[in-house]
Structure 1
Amino acid sequence: MLSFFSASRDSRRLHQSCNAITDCKDLVSDSSSSPEFIQELLPSAERTALLYHLSYLCLGNFPELEAVIREGALQTQLLFGSSEALLLKYAETSENIVTFLLPNLEVAAVKNKPELARKFLEKAKGWINDIIMDGKEIVKRYEKHNSDVCNSTSDIITEMEKTEKQQHQTSEMKELQKIIDGLKEKHLSISEEIEDYERKIEEKNTEIRELISRIRETDFKMYSMIVPFVDSIISHIYKTTESTSEKDQIRALEADLSETIEAQKRLKEEEQEIQNQLLENELKLAKLQTENGQMLSVRSLDEVRKRLSRIQQILVQLQKFWEKVGSKLDTLKERTFAGDVWIEDLTDMKEEFLDSIDAAEEGWTKFGISCMKANNIFSIQANEAYRFLEISPSSLSEEERQKEYERVKQKLDKKIRLSKQ
């Protein structure tokens, strides 16, 4: 049994958290109400390599286990490279929508040419179908990789149980371990609360979408087919609808949703603070273990799994987002072809349609910018952040390994401090 944690207890927790990965797609809410939701990818992507590096250094005296970490880090690096390419496709498709699809739809509306509109809608649907398939493939790879990381962590714990000797804990180490155990229990409890709020938010979003759908049937059918972001649609409804009843219903639902989101946001901030405290205390414990000539913890590998799982969840959100956009374009194309939308000279709808194109351009531009920011982060991670794999920690002296560990720890501490600001 490891001196700094109960391996059997961590094995149980690992089993629970790995099961949670399998279910993560069921817990994803529709976060695409705003074009900037994709930026939630960035913190997880930036921390993953640092956490891998710490795990790698921890196992410098265990070449076989070092090889397990190395393989996982290499697979993550490759996966981040594929994610970089996918995000670039998302950005390029957004740009194509802004510079190609929307202007041509505007021309079709002004000149009353439904066949022209249908032609460009078909082209856009082709782009979107391609990136939906690409996105599904990446999500599958993350799912498999997360499972592999869980198995690797379990294998490492098992191997360390077999090879480690009973080691003495100082009173300071015991006190840190008590703090860590308490934080883990708090983290488990708050994670369950966040999942509950996730479901509540999805319920509220569904109510809002259903209300918007009922309103669409009369005044906003065209606008909602062009603009993919719910907040833009709601803003348009407030500006243009004359129905006080409909406005009041939306305001009430938005107030409930806002209250629920704020409650979850506070919990997420608390969860982040607990995660930061956990990492800080585990790094302190690792320093004490080194000073006492003991084996370092590999808890950072479990944190890698959590970060990869979060990335997977956001990529699932993106996949759902593109599927909804594709569905909207299909609906618009079908109604255009049937003459349901492009009725003779579009007298009653032309102004609304042109307004929707302006709003869509603004939303898609913001979304494309967010995609490029994420693309740049994944590019740095895929091309530079994993260079530590070029040097085997077993080739370093104990002093060199500890010095490198402290350097990486400081970089991770900086990320933690920035996340608190």
Structure 2
Amino acid sequence: MKKGWVCCALFVASNSYADIEISGVVGLEQRYFLQDALYENQERSYSSAFLMPELYSEWNGGTDTLVVKPFYRIDQHDNERTHGDIREFQWAHYADSWETRVGIGKVFWGQTESLHLVDIINQTDTVEQVDGEAKLGQPMVNFNYFSDFGMFSIYAMPYFRERTFQGENGRLRPPIAIGEALYESDDEERNMDVAIRWQSSIDDWEVGFSVFSGTTREPELVTVLSADGEPEILPFYAQIEQVGVDLLKVSGAWLFKLESIYRSGQTENFAALVTGFEYTKQGVFGSRYGLGFLAEYQFDEREDNFFAVGQNDLMAGLRVMVNDIAETEMLFGFVQDLEEQGTYSGFIEASSRLTSNWSWKLNGYFFSSDDIEDPYYFLRRDDHVQFSLEYYF
């Protein structure tokens, strides 16, 4: 990482007209698990600290930019959660109708709240957050073309990032240790992945269509016996093709959302979708508060996959917007399996600013399952809340 920062400084310094800005965030986080652990060597309380600085530079009148965003977290107990990553290290060049991005970047696709099916460019940083929102930086070359018919994007990704998993002392993990990754491709992590995407605004609709070919970001977990006769789980990364569609319809205070994919190449070829709505009401009972009512249906054809958590589920949520100067917001959600009454999960997300530099976040996640084949069964004792205090500079 030190070498990367030196190269970055030399690159920017070579242009005397470059503007450089340095910002970032540093924070402390405390996790507390509400029940005793299922497995040995696990704790109930985990403290950690993280740092994510950002360097931004632009030159040539803003037509060229450089973003560098490293990340590092140190965790009290989980050695696998103590980790670093280059979230972004990307040069971009902008022209009238096109742009090019080269380096390590982050790309988000999607519209729904409870699951992001079409979002496939970046690998999930599982040790960071159980909701799958945290992503690893992805090496890529990206070309975007803007026209009256929408934006057309091409991605070439020469290097694959393995999904992170909790260590032996971490919570939110299966009962068996995670071993070395297996690949279908002979090139392993150096297989060239490619993707194309078209997105456009058509009247009140936001429409996206994507195609991906390459190494799956969502491995299948294979249980084997290690050399010493102990069982272990090996993540297997197959070569897949995935087609995705995402839609957003805006109609007054209503948002109608859909994400749908079809994926082939793994043990099961399957279709999956998430669809629902969000209705927002401002000035509730004459106050400054706003409420957003959410509902989404989740469907996944897979029957035997650890990551297929939304096979036939319904999510209901409530978003609370205080509309104060501190930008206080809260989101409450509950997901019910429609086939197994005892399988459900819930979440709470809240955040607010204390000053112009300080903010806090509070998250809570709750799991229940009586079905040993359900992913939540291994998390049934991992209900937890986490509080973080963050300073932005």
The normalised TM-score by structure 2 is 0.22
